[in-house]
Structure 1
Amino acid sequence: MSENKNYQHPDIQDPENDELEIDWMDILRRIYAIRKTLYKAAGVGVVLGIIIALSIPKQYTVTVTLSPEMNGDKASSGLASLASSFLGGGASNSSNDALNVTLAPDIVASTPFVLELFNTRVQTLDGELDTTLVAYLDEQKTPWWGYIKAAPSLLIGALKSLIIETKDSVSTEINPFQLTKKEAAKVVKLKQAITANVDKKTAMTTITVTLQDSKVTAIVADSVVGKLQQYIIDYRIKKAKEDCAYLEELYKERQQEYYDAQSKYAHYFDTNRNIAFQSVRAEQERLQNDMNLAYQVYSQVAQQLQVARAKIQEEKPVFAVVEPATIPLEPSSSSKKIILIGIIFITICFTCAWQILGKPQWSKIKESFTKKTNT
Structure 2
Amino acid sequence: MQEENDVMRNDDEQEIDLLELARKLWDSRKTILKWGAVGAVVGLVVAFSIPKEYTTTIKLAPEMSDNKAGSGGLGALAAMAGVNLGGSSGADAVYPQLYPDVVGSVPFVISLFDVPVTDADGARHTTVRAFIEEDTSAPWWSAVMALPGKAIGGVMSLLRSDDNAQGDGAVNPFKLTPEENAVVSALATRIGADVDTKTSVISLSVTMQDPMVSAMLADTVAARLKTYVTDYRTEKARRDMEYAQRINDEAKQDYYDAQQKYAEYMDRNQGLVTRAAQTESERLQNEASLAFSLYNQTAQQLQIARAKVQQTTPVYTVVQPATVPLRPSKPSKMLILVGFIFLAAVAASAWILFGRDLVDGFRKKA
**Preserved contact between residue 103 and residue 225 of structure 2 (Cα < 8 Å):** yes
Q: Alignment partner of 1:202: what SS? A: coil
Q: Which of residues 104, 122, 127 in structure 2 aligns to 1:127?
A: 122
Shift of 1:140: 0.9
* Structure number, greater radius of gyration: 1
Q: Distance in 2 between matches of 1:17 and 1:36?
A: 29
Higher alpha-carbon deviation: 130-139 or 120-129: 120-129
CA contact 1:218–1:326 (8 Å) conserved in 2: yes
Task: String of CA shifts for 1:72-100, please: whole Å, max 9, x gaps.
Answer: 62535565335435x45444163212222
Change (3 A) 1:45 1:302: same
Seen in structure 2, the aligned counterparts of structure 1 residues 319 and 331 have a Cα distance that, compared at 3 Å, is: same
Deviations 1:236-295 (A, max 9, x none): 111111111112121111111111111111111121121111111111111111111111
Give the Cα–Cα distance (whole angstroms) in 2 for the partners of residues 34 and 210 of structure 1.
44
Alignment of 1:247 onto 2:254:
no
Which moved further from structure 2: 286-295 or 202-211? 202-211
> Is it true that 1:45 corresponds to 2:39 in the alignment?
yes
**Post-superposition CA distance 1:117-147 (Å, at most 9, x none):** 1111111212233211111112111011212
Answering whether residue 61 of structure 2 is matched by residue 61 of structure 1, we say no
Distance change in 2, residues 1:91/1:125 (3 Å): farther
**Per-residue deviation at 1:51?**
1.7
Q: What is the 5 A alignment of 1:113-152?
A: 113-138=108-133, 139-152=135-148
2:50–2:331 contact (8 Å) kept in structure 1: no
1:345 shift after superposition: 3.2
1:153 aligns to 2:149 (yes or no) = yes
CA distance in 2, matches of 1:300, 1:8: 102
Q: How does 1:68-107 map to 2 (within 5 A)?
A: 68-69=62-63, 71=65, 73=67, 75-76=69-70, 80-84=74-78, 87-92=80-85, 94-96=88-90, 97-107=92-102
2:176 counterpart SS class = coil
- Number of equivalenced pairs: 362
Task: Tell me if structure 2 keeps the 8 A contact 1:76–1:82.
Answer: no
1:373 aligns to what? none
1:247–1:194 Cα change, 3 Å = same
Given that 1:79 and 1:314 are in contact with CA atoms closer than 8 Å, whether structure 2 keeps it comes out as no
Which piece of structure 1 moves more, 349-358 or 284-293? 349-358
CA contact (8 A) 2:259 2:288 kept: yes
CA distance in 2, matches of 1:339, 1:7: 49
CA deviations over 1:347-367 (Å, ceiling 9, x no partner): 233123213321112212332
Report the Cα distance in structure 1 between the residues aligned to 2:66 and 2:31, rounded to whole angstroms.
Answer: 71
Secondary structure of the 1:14 match is helix
Q: Which amino acid aligns with 2:126?
A: T
Deviation at 1:60, TM superposition (A): 1.6
Distance in 1 (alpha carbons) for counterparts of 2:225 and 2:81: 37
Paired residue secondary structure (1:210): strand
Aligned partners of 2:348 and 2:197: how far apart in 1? 49
Q: Give the residue type in structure 1 aligned to 2:155.
A: L
Identity rate, percent: 39
State TM-score, norm by structure 2. Answer: 0.90
- Structure 1-normalised TM-score? 0.87
Is the CA contact (8 Å cut-off) linking 1:83 and 1:310 kept in structure 2? no
Alignment match of 2:330 (pick from 325, 329, 333): 333
Question: Separation in 1 of the partners of 2:72 and 2:115?
Answer: 36
Cα displacement string for residues 278-317 of structure 1 (whole angstroms, at most 9, x for unaligned residues): 1111111111111111111111111111111121111111
Answer whether contact 2:78 2:85 (CA < 8 A) is retained: no
* Distance in 2 between residues matched to 1:222 and 1:82, nearest whole Å: 39
- Identify unmatched segments of 5+ residues in structure 1: 371-375
